[in-house]
Structure 1
């Protein structure tokens, strides 16, 4: 009887182990989505600003973004970076999790 349960345990654990591995790997991809995107598309996360250029204030930046996107999009948030070579990320209500990379 012990050998039968050992065989059942072995043959049930192999497919379940594969399923658990796939679930864990897909979860890791979702958790590190931002880092993976930055690694695959670094050009979206770098801006070349002249040395004498000053970034716009958030209110000015929001006005400019609002003037360049369709009226159907409503700006929800701006994620500003402390570094001058990184763009700010603009999020809109209607786009879900998608963001727009904006040169400040």
Structure 2
């Protein structure tokens, strides 16, 4: 009977296993915090990328004369036409 009482007393006062439990709880807290922050950041980043893509599409419509289209109403005219209504037409060499 004395051995049983001594075993229970030692078990109650033993704190070695408590450290492992504390580390496990701290690790679980860190993992859950990281997971929730990644989820929140991921959906926010996805929304921002979608909004940016829609702004790019709507703000840059294709028009005649863009990209120096033979120099007509565009910049850096090509084909030796001195950039009709555009800037800096290329000269013939």
Q: TM-score, normalised by structure 1?
A: 0.34
Report which of the two has the higher share of helix. 2
Q: TM-score, normalised by structure 2?
A: 0.37
Larger Rg: 2
